[in-house]
Amino acid sequence: MSENPVIIFGAGATKACDGPLTWEILPNAFRLESHLQREDFFPVLDQFLVQNFHLPENPDERSASDYPGLPLLISLLDKAIDHKHNFSPDWPVDSLVEVRNALEYVIFALLEHQLHHIGRNHYKRFLNRFRRRNESMPTIISLNYDIIADNSLIYLGNRVYNQPRFPDYGCDVATSLYRERKKFGRLYKLHGSLNWLYCPACHRLDVGISRSGRSMVKMLEELFTEELDLENRYTCHGSPCRDCGSFVRPVMITPTHMKDYRNPHISQVWYQADRALRKADRAYIIGYSMPEDDVDVIYLLKRGLSHLPAENITVVDFDDQARPARQHPAGARYSTLFGDQIDWHPEGFENWLDTSFSGSRQ
């Protein structure tokens, strides 16, 4: 029985719950624009893409492949803003900042919309298995900024204690309701979170509750206050910080080649994640393909899990060919880092839960 299990969730875990992969975000967002539109965020982004990336003006004529890749788009914007370069004569730096902010909101709006309509929550199933076995609740390290894991822990905490409990995020959240309530589980989100709001002036961090979270745990409606209203506080036109009045921003380290981990709360989260990995006696890595350019995360995992025997590291990915680890690109990377005895499962999150993890005491 594991005493200090740790779970690492990547984008593939969210995809298994009907969430979007990175390349699907822009096409899906514009397809659902009428459901997501708020405060005119879409028009400025649409105009920028049409003028600079040759996107067809008529949305009905667009295919998913017409949209630029999200990492490339954000990286180009960040580089231009960082160097104070105009993108073109019609797009000076001030306009690029507006586009960048709109893009962040579009990501938020799409993920929140899709999570509100989630059909299969494998996160909740997986975590409930640990709870039923009377094992220690695992520490969760998430590489996603969606809030499926958050909502699942709040839901399970409510079932155990008949009272909604936030997870311990491993950083200094100032929201009074978060600070006052006992926590259930530890959730370290390396790339930030949809439900975090950060003031870059005074460094205050708040947590909000979204529609999807309130629908999952009905009791949250009774606790819901303006302080926790994520949708109304999340606005790219600015929502004031409760301490200093400056505009708050989301904490989402988006997929870019210029990732910035200098946010003090993110630094805390990485420190706590490193400690959790070093103490782990078993690791489950779900839906993370370990892309070779993701050096910071790979370095964290390599350092943190180097004490574990390979057979105590379970890696779950999806491969329709069900190839052995050494014959699969992601599996080969894990084998190289941790050894050929890794517990490799290419059947995907859902099938792994239904078969390999069903009823066993790993």
What is the per-residue pLDDT across 201-223, written as a single tens digit (0 to 9) for each?
A: 999 998 876 555 444 444 444 44
Percent of the chain past pLDDT 70, that is, above it, reads: 85
327 and 352 assigned to the same domain? yes
Q: Can you give the pLDDT at residue 222?
A: 46
**Together in a domain, 260 and 349:** yes
Evaluate if residue 77 carries a pLDDT over 90. yes
For residue 16, is it left (φ>0), alpha (ψ between -120 and 50) or beta?
alpha
Q: Which of 93, 116, 139 is the last residue of a domain?
A: 116
Instruction: Say whether pLDDT at 8 is over 80.
Output: yes
- In a domain, residue 298? The reply is yes
Rounded to an integer, the average pLDDT of 219-233 is 50
Phi, psi of 39 (to 5 degrees): 60, 30
The CATH number covering residue 154 comes to: 3.40.50.1220
Neighbours of 303 (CB within 10 A): 12
Does one domain contain both 87 and 3? Answer: no
Distance CA 37, CA 35 (A): 6
Q: Which of 23-27, 69-73, 96-100, 354-358 has the least mean pLDDT? A: 354-358
Name the DSSP class of 133.
T
Residue 297, pLDDT > 50, answer yes
Q: Please indicate, yes or no, if residue 150 is contained in any of the structural domains.
A: yes
Average pLDDT in the 144-169 region?
Answer: 87
Query: Does residue 229 sit within a domain?
Result: no
Total count of domains within the chain: 2
Q: Same domain, yes or no, for 65 and 186?
A: no
Boundary of a domain, candidates 77, 95, 116 = 116
Q: Report pLDDT for 21.
A: 82
Same domain (yes/no): 189, 55: no
The answer as to whether 240 is a domain residue is: no
Would you state the pLDDT for residue 144?
Answer: 92
What is the reported pLDDT for 29? 92
Q: Kindly tell me if the per-residue pLDDT of 361 is higher than 80.
A: no
Query: What pLDDT is stored for residue 223 in this prediction?
Result: 47
Instruction: Tell me if 326 is assigned to some domain.
Output: yes
**Does the pTM exceed 0.85?**
yes
If asked whether residues 187 and 161 sit together in one domain, one would say yes
- Domain check: are 50 and 191 in the same one? no
Tell whether 150 and 92 lie within a shared domain.
no
Cα gap 230→288, rounded to integer Å: 28
Q: What pLDDT, on a 0 to 100 scale, did the predictor assign at position 281?
A: 94
Average pLDDT of the chain is: 86
DSSP symbol at 290:
-
Same structural domain, 77 and 132: no
For a pLDDT cut of 90, what percent of the chain falls above it? 51
Residue 131 lies in a domain: yes
Residue 277 within any structural domain of the chain: yes
Rg (CA), the chain: 21
How many angstroms separate the CA atoms of 254 and 108, rounded?
11
- Is the Cβ–Cβ distance between 230 and 208 less than 8 Å? yes
The domain of 338 spans: 1-18+120-196+253-362
- Rounded distance, CA 281 to CA 308, Å? 7
Q: CB-based contacts of 135: which residues, under 8 Å, 6+ apart? A: 1, 2, 3, 5
> Is the pLDDT confidence value at 224 over 50?
no
Q: What is the pLDDT of residues 308-345, one digit of tens each?
A: 999 999 999 999 999 999 999 999 999 999 999 999 99
The answer on 359 and 271 residing in a single domain is yes
pLDDT at 94 over 80: yes
Question: Is 278 in contact with 319 (CB distance < 8 Å)?
Answer: no
pLDDT at position 346 is: 97
Question: 220 lies in a domain?
Answer: no
Burial of 312 (0-12, 13-18, 19+ CB in 10 A): buried
Closest CA to 229 of 205, 211, 202: 211
The confidence score (pLDDT) of residue 194 equals 81
- Using DSSP, state whether 347 is helix, strand or coil: strand
Single out the residue in 67, 89, 116 at which a domain terminates: 116
- Are 296 and 327 within one domain? yes
Q: Are residues 34 and 1 in the same domain?
A: no
